[in-house]
Amino acid sequence: MKRILTGDRPTGPLHLGHFVGSLRNRVRLQNDFDTFIIVADVQALTTHWESPELLKTHVQEVALDNIAAGLDPEKVSIFVQSMVPQIAELTVFFGLYTTVSRLRHNPTIKTEAKQYGYTDMTYGFLGYPVSQAADILFCRAELVPVGEDQLPHVEVTRFVARRFNELYGQVFPEPQAKISDVSRLIGLDGNAKMSKSLGNAIYLKDDPSEIRKKVMSAVTDPARIHKTDPGHPNICTIFAYHKAFNAAEVPEIEECCTKGTTGCVACKKNLMAKLEETLAPIRERRAEFDKPGRVEEILRAGTGRAVAAGTETMEMVREAMQTDYWKER
Ligand code: TRP
């Protein structure tokens, strides 16, 4: 079976943006691929190095979000990045031939640097896409289901693999990104991206009353004051969510909004019902796995499988790079 690798930074609970951009795809693909899910704690530290005390909770939370969303821990390997030393080793080797200018031109890095207000960048932050290449290549994954903001990083990974193979011999596949049909979800405030730091997110673990509050206060078409005013669905947050969670009714909703026959409140209520269809089973699975020690046990098992895959890859890498000094030939 071909391998998939994808994952998240443990900087807080996962939201609907993660779900639509990547989580939903992971769940669909888990039966057809050998799936590795990384909880990228080292990557989280590239921006949050001053608060390591938050890691343990966030690692557990992100793992549980993935399981609750429908990943089967018997089938997929969910693991912690920092517990797989082969990823750190590969990061060093990949950094040998990846230039600083390639990293500086990465649009996602530029956006994030601006967002965090960096006037200078740490070596670790600028280089995290190289580390992410190691996240993907340590198990020789071929497919990477991600949201579109991750495409520049997958490009770096493809470069890293291709160049390694040219320099030292064929070891790595050149992995493909797999972008979902709805690869980005706008925030409740109409901001381009749902994100924890913007405070405009619905979390997978939110309960129905929280979701109700959030949906009811979400921004719709500002030009639509009365129910009968013709609406502009394409600038409406709620319509974007219908596209992501209620595809079947989209043509009808578009028509009723444009003609002014359905009001925003009814449209929001309809959306809440559809969100519940997605979120209620996730809540149930969360309760099932949210038992003392259960998530840790899953992470330990997954990390063990990741280390085994990494050990196999490092043997190939050491041979290719002629650093297998003590090996009998
Ligand atoms: N950069 C990803 C994010 O911010 C998380 C991540 C780390 C990742 N390593 C990865 C995603 C490897 C895909 C593959 O969401």
pLDDT one-digit tens code per residue, 25-77: 999 999 999 999 999 999 999 999 999 999 999 999 999 999 999 999 999 99
If you average pLDDT over every residue of the chain, what do you get?
A: 95
Q: Is 206 in the pocket of ligand 1 (CB under 6 A)?
A: no
Give this prediction's pTM: 0.94
CB burial of residue 272 (10 Å; 0-12, 13-18, 19+): middle
Q: What is the pLDDT of residues 143-155, one digit of tens each?
A: 999 988 999 999 9
Measured CA angle at 101 (ends 154, 99), to 5 deg: 75
204-232 pLDDT, tens digit each: 999 999 999 999 999 999 888 888 999 99
pLDDT at 125 over 90: yes
Q: What's the pLDDT band for 203 if we cut at 50, 70, 90?
A: very high
As a whole number, mean pLDDT of residues 108-134 equals: 97
Judge if the beta carbon of residue 38 lies within 6 A of ligand 1. Answer: yes
Confidence label for 182 from pLDDT (cuts 50, 70 and 90):
confident
Mutate to test the pocket of ligand 1, among 8, 130, 176 (most ligand atoms within 8 A of CB): 8
Task: Extract the tokens encoding 172.
Answer: 């790595």
Q: How far, in Å, from the CA of 6 to the mean position of ligand 1? A: 6
- The C-alpha atoms of residue 293 and residue 290 are separated, in whole angstroms, by 9
Using alpha carbons, list the distances in angstroms from residue 187 to 47, 203, 231, 261: 22, 12, 19, 26
Q: Mean pLDDT across the stretch 258-276?
A: 95
Model confidence at 329: pLDDT above 80 = no
Instruction: Tell me, in angstroms, the distance from the centre of ligand 1 to residue 241's CA.
Output: 24
